[in-house]
Amino acid sequence: MPSQLHEMLLVLFRNRPALAPELLREVLGLELPAYSEVRLECAELTDVVPAEYRADLVVLLVDGKPVLGIVVEVQLRPARRKRFSWPVYVVGLRARLECPCCLLVVTASKKTARWARQRIVVGPGHHLDPLVVGPQGVPIITDVVRARQDPELAVLSVMAHGRGDVETAAKIAYAAATGVSDLDDDTRVLT
């Protein structure tokens, strides 16, 4: 059963799927293909084999056709089995969409981020390098204007940096609260 923190992190991406490519581009420095649309895609990655594989979330970049599938996984702690299921998610999605795909792991734990960054060796000459955004990769958002422009990222900033220096944590919390206050009631409750 997913925890409240797990579900809360996923809500940020459900509310604004463009957060996934934004993190890939701005935090991880990846060059993404040109796209004109970002949308959520079915996260069920089951094949006809008996095992069921379900990612936390799938974000799809589209430019007339799919150009990049992003499997978003929220990981709160290391989990040995994920090192076997994550490659299935990426390869299954790639087969379904017929476009490049990647794995974006989001975590609020430095320890889990270190664990998740480890290369997954699938076999000789084949591996998966998870793209990981941990607390150290999330920008510190204290600017109210930026928080209003990007409230989901402001909430991530609180989650990643809200336990640090008291003065900075207060500025981060204030910016996020201000940014979230501009959202409609239903979305604000979810963030």
Pairing mode of beta strands 101-106, 66-74: parallel
Tell how far CA 155 is from the center of its chain: 13
* Total-model pTM: 0.79
Distance CA 173, CA 96 (A): 40
Label residue 168 by pLDDT band (50, 70, 90): confident
Closest residue by Cα to residue 54 from 132, 126, 109, 2 = 2
Condensed to tens digits (0 to 9), the pLDDT of residues 52-99 reads: 788 999 999 999 999 999 999 999 999 999 999 999 999 999 999 999
Condensed to tens digits (0 to 9), the pLDDT of residues 1-46 reads: 678 889 989 999 999 999 999 999 999 998 899 999 999 998 886 6
Instruction: State which H helix or E strand residue 168 sits in.
Output: helix 166-181
